[in-house]
Structure 1
Amino acid sequence: MSLTVQITSPHHVEVIDQPAPELRPGQVRVRTSFSGISAGTELTAYRGSNPYLNRSWDPDQRLFVDDTTGVGYPLAGLGYSEVGQVVEVAPDVADDPNLPPVGAQVWGIWGHRSEAVLPAEKLRGCMVPAGLAPIAATFARVGAVALNAVLAADVHLGETVAVFGQGVLGLLTTRLVRLNGGTVVAVDAVPGRLEKALEYGADIVLDARDGTVATQIRKFTDGRGADVAIEISGSYPALHEAIRSVAVNGRVVASGFYQGDGMGLRLGDEFHHNRVGLICSQIGGVPPAVAGRWDQIRLNQTFLRLATDQQIDPAGLITHVIPVREAAAAYDMLDRSPHEALQVVLTF
Structure 2
Amino acid sequence: MADPVTDAAPSPARSTARSRVLCVAAPGEVTLVEEELPAVPEGGFRVETVYSGISAGTELTYVKGTNPYLAASWDRALGLFRPGAPALAYPVRGIGYMQVGRVAETRTRAVREGALVAMAYGHRTGYVADPLADRFVELPAGLDPVLGVYVAHMGPICANGLLHAAADLYGPAVRDLGDGVRGRRVAVVGAGVVGLLTAAFALEHGAAEVVVADETPERLRVAEALGARPLPVDPGDSDGDGDGDPAVELKRRWRHGPDDRGADVVFQCRGQARALALALRMLRPQGTVVDLAFYTRGAEEVRLGEEFHHNGLSLRCAQIGRVPRGLAHAWDRERLSYETVALLGRRGAALREHLVTDVAGFAEAPRLLADLAARRRHSVQAVLRGDVQDEGG
Partner of 1:159: 184
Cα distance per residue 1:266-317 (max 9 Å; x no partner): 1111111111100001111112253331111111121112212346744231
Instruction: Specify whether residues 259 and 166 from structure 1 end up closer, same or farther in structure 2 by C-alpha distance, changes over 3 A only.
Output: same
1:200 and 2:217 matched: no
Distance change (3 Å), C-alpha of 1:252 and 1:310: closer
Asked if structure 2 preserves the Cα contact closer than 8 Å seen for 1:4 and 1:16, the reply is yes
Residue identity matched to 1:147: A
Q: Structure 1: which 5+ residue stretches go unaligned?
A: none
Match in the other structure for 1:126: 137
Counterpart Cα distance in 2 of 1:26 and 1:157? 43
Q: How is 1:9-158 mapped onto 2 (pairs within 5 angstroms)? A: 9-90=26-107, 93=108, 96=109, 99-120=110-131, 126-140=137-151, 141-154=153-166, 155-158=180-183
Query: Counterpart of 2:121 in structure 1: which amino acid?
Result: W
CA 1:156–1:128: 2 relative to 1, 3 Å: closer
Q: d(CA) in 2 for partners of 1:39 and 1:156?
A: 27
Q: For 2:234 and 2:289, how far apart are their aligned partners in 1?
A: 17
Give the Cα separation in 2 of the matches to 1:52 and 1:122. 22
How many residue pairs were aligned? 342
Aligned to 1:216: 249
Residue 248 of structure 1 aligns to a residue whose secondary structure is strand
Match of 2:294 in 1: 257
Partner of 1:333: 371
Indicate the SS of the match to 1:187. strand
Shift of 1:62: 1.4
Q: Deviations over 1:230-266 (max 9, x none)?
A: 1101111010011011011010111100112113111
Task: Tell me the C-alpha RMSD between the 2 structures.
Answer: 1.8
Residues 1:321 and 1:184: Cα distance change in structure 2 (over 3 Å): same
Aligned partner of 2:162: which letter? V
User: Does the 8 A contact of 1:321 with 1:347 survive in 2?
Assistant: yes
* 1:279 and 2:326 matched: no
- Structure 2: which amino acid aligns with 1:110? Y
The runs of 5 or more residues in structure 2 that have no matched partner are 1-17, 167-179, 387-393
* Structure-1 separation of matches of 2:68 and 2:365: 23
SS in 2 for 1:265: coil
Give aligned-pair identity as a percent: 36
TM-score by length of 1: 0.93
Which residue matches 1:174? 199
Alpha carbons of structure 1 residues 135 and 204: separation in structure 2 relative to 1, 3 Å: closer
